[in-house]
């Protein structure tokens, strides 16, 4: 089974409290450096639009073909997770590595997104005429917003973190991808490929959102450079805010599940709610939903406090949070990188033997030399835990520093005076510092060797 933690526990050279407070101090120092800098006004109006992938033939066709082969291998190949390419490729490469790559260079995935290609093929006027007896697609309901992508993302996160033992089985992953491909085909037929891919198709929305951090813009708006796409504000709607916040909450929830405290807490559950039972799955899913709601409420409250401190009269909670939402995306990315770094380095090695035998069959007719065969042994010591520890510190702190700078720029542009802009930064700084400390604490729990008394 794919796991998120490997290697021996590492005893921090400094007390945990000093480690957490030190990270918070760095964020405070970064705030002190930018606090006095004035921000030039920016009256440019930019719309939050996910530009759907354009057409084309070769790359989209190849991507659909690769998807079909992976699904076929998942259905007919070995059902051992570590011996079948599909679950490793999807849950590791697509679900973790691609967001990290897109967040670094920009959203390059459009031409190779098979689900967007399926929606485009199914959304052709001739297909719609044959199925619905009309050529024009239905308009995307405004009330639907981004909720389809948000609900789909929530469901996949639950499958990964709560239903992991079942969801990662090759046949289950393959069946889920087939069902989702059919959903995309229906979405393309009913609403048209552009509307579906721009609002409902989960991977297009997900990668376009992460892509705002990347160096190149590709189909997105904003300036070139890291975090340049965050100059474009997110849409001031509940569905868009929830979609973006789920990127942050999902990794925090994974971190929570990795803590010894969660294990101790759930170990005391009665049999009907014990880990592995259906009751536990319901409880864990509910916990994720509650965590998302609490995160929304807390950050919303601090955003409103920042708006009121800056005398932004009449600003709604959603609009105040939307303006500061771009500053949370670097934090989500930093936490994603820090939390999954060791997971990617260790489990990524599974791809070598799997590329040589993608279905895990003894009768596979194309044997390849080392390391693309079973002679390759995965090394869990490839990235020492001590290195992971320090990388996590740097990544989390840098991400929060970037967040402070982005928030400073937004509040400096929206306040009527410099004095009000500076005053409005303090409530959001409190939120940033608090979340820095929480993030570092969550990351430290699986790595720090606790004494029996502190445990």
Co-location of 269 and 219 in the same domain: no
Distance CA 148, CA 110 (A): 19
195, 101: one domain: yes
Residue 251 and residue 173 in one domain: no
Q: Dump pLDDT digits (tens) for 368-386.
A: 898 888 888 888 878 787 7
pLDDT in tens, 280-334: 999 999 999 999 999 999 999 999 999 888 776 556 778 888 889 999 999 999 9
Decide if pLDDT at 357 tops 50. yes
Band of pLDDT at residue 135, cut at 50, 70 and 90: very high
Letter string b/e over residues 50-75, b meaning 16 or more CB atoms within 10 A of that residue's CB: bbbbeeeeeebeebbeebeebbebbb
- Picking from 42, 30, 38, 39, the residue whose alpha carbon sits closest to that of residue 429 is 30
| Chosen domain end from 232, 262, 282 | 232
Hey, what are 248's tokens? 């942050």
Quick one: 309 and 387 in the same domain? yes
CA distances from 442 to 20, 163, 260 (A): 10, 21, 10
Task: Let me know if residue 453 belongs to a domain.
Answer: no
Cα separation, 405 vs 418, whole angstroms: 16
Listed residues 232, 264, 287: the one ending a domain:
232
| One domain, residues 166 and 124 | yes
pLDDT band at 454 (very low <50, low <70, confident <90, very high): very low
Count of CB atoms situated within 10 Å of the CB of 272: 9
Q: Is residue 369 part of a domain?
A: yes
Are residues 74 and 29 located together in one domain of the fold? no
Q: Residue 179's pLDDT band (boundaries 50, 70, 90)?
A: very high
Q: Give the structural domain span for 409.
A: 1-48+239-448
What pLDDT was estimated at residue 40? Answer: 63
204 and 288 inside one domain = no
Token pair, residue 127, equals 């297909």
Residue 175 lies in a domain: yes
The reply to whether 38 and 68 lie within a common domain is no
Residues in CB range of 246: below 8 A, 6 or more apart: 150, 153, 154, 157, 292
Extract the tokens encoding 314.
């009449």
Residue 154 lies in a domain: yes
Counting every residue written for the chain, the total comes to 455
Whether 421 maps to a domain, the answer reads yes
Position 247 confidence tier, pLDDT thresholds 50, 70, 90: very high
454 found inside a domain: no
Residue 196 and residue 277 in one domain: no
Yes or no: say if 197 and 183 are a contact pair by the CB < 8 Å rule.
Answer: no
**Is the domain of 316 the same as that of 357?**
yes
Mutual angle of helices 278-309 and 147-161, in 10-degree steps: 130
pTM: 0.91
Residue 387 forms part of a structural domain: yes
Residue 6: per-residue pLDDT: 34
Within 10 A of 160 (CB to CB), how many other CB atoms are there?
A: 19
Q: Are residues 224 and 111 in the same domain?
A: yes
- Based on the domain organization, do 228 and 355 belong to the same domain? no
Instruction: Give the mean model confidence (pLDDT) for residues 384-393.
Output: 80
Distance CA(51)–CA(63), nearest Å, equals 19
User: Which range (12-16, 229-233, 250-254, 425-429) has the least confidence?
Assistant: 12-16
Query: Which sign does the torsion angle of CA 233, 236, 240, 246 carry?
Result: positive
Q: Is residue 19 situated within a structural domain?
A: yes
Return the SS3 of 47: coil
| Cβ–Cβ < 8 Å for 115, 152 | no
Q: What percent of the chain has pLDDT over 70?
A: 91
| Structural domain total, the chain | 2
Q: Which of 196, 217, 232 is the last residue of a domain?
A: 232
């Amino acid at each position: 089974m794919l796991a998120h933690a490997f290697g021996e526990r590492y005893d921090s050279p400094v007390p945990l409290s000093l480690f957490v407070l030190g990270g918070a101090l760095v964020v405070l120092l970064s705030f002190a450096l930018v606090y006095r800098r004035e921000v030039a006004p920016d009256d440019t109006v930019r719309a939050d639009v996910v530009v759907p992938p354009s057409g084309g033939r070769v790359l989209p066709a190849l991507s659909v073909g690769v998807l079909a082969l992976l699904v076929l291998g998942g259905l007919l190949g070995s059902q051992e997770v570590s011996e079948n390419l599909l679950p490793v490729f999807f849950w590791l490469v697509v679900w973790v590595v691609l967001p990290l790559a897109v967040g670094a260079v920009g959203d390059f995935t459009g031409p190779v997104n098979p689900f967007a290609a399926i929606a485009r093929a199914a959304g052709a006027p001739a297909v719609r005429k044959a199925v619905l007896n009309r050529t024009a697609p239905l308009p995307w309901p405004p009330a639907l917003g981004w909720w389809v992508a948000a609900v789909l993302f929530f469901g996949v996160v639950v499958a990964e973190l709560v239903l992991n033992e079942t969801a990662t089985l090759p046949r289950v992953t393959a069946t889920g991808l087939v069902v989702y491909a059919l959903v995309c085909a229906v979405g393309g037929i009913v609403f048209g490929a552009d509307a579906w891919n721009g609002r409902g198709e989960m991977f297009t929305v997900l990668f376009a959102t992460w892509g705002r951090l990347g160096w190149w813009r590709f189909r997105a708006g904003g300036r070139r450079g890291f975090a340049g796409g965050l100059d474009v504000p997110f849409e001031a709607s509940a569905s868009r805010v929830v979609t973006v916040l789920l990127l942050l909450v999902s990794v925090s929830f994974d971190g929570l599940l990795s803590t010894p405290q969660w294990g101790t807490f759930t170990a005391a559950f009665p049999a009907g709610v014990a880990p592995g039972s259906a009751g536990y799955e319901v409880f864990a899913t509910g916990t994720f939903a509650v965590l998302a709601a609490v995160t929304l409420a807390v950050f919303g409250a601090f955003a409103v406090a920042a708006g009121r401190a800056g005398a932004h009269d009449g600003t709604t909670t959603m609009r105040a949070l939307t303006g500061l939402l771009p500053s949370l995306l670097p934090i989500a990315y930093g936490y994603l990188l820090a939390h999954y770094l060791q997971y990617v380095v260790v489990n990524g090695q599974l791809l070598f033997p799997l590329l040589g035998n993608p279905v895990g069959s003894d009768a596979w007719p194309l044997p390849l030399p080392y390391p693309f065969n079973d002679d390759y042994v995965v090394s869990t010591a490839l990235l020492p835990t001590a290195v992971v520890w320090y990388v996590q510190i740097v990544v989390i702190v840098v991400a929060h520093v970037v967040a402070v700078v982005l928030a400073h720029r937004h509040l400096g542009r929206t306040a009527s005076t410099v004095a009000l802009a500076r005053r409005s930064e303090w409530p959001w700084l409190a939120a940033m510092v608090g979340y820095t400390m929480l993030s570092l604490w969550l990351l430290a729990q699986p790595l720090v060797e606790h004494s029996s008394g502190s445990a």
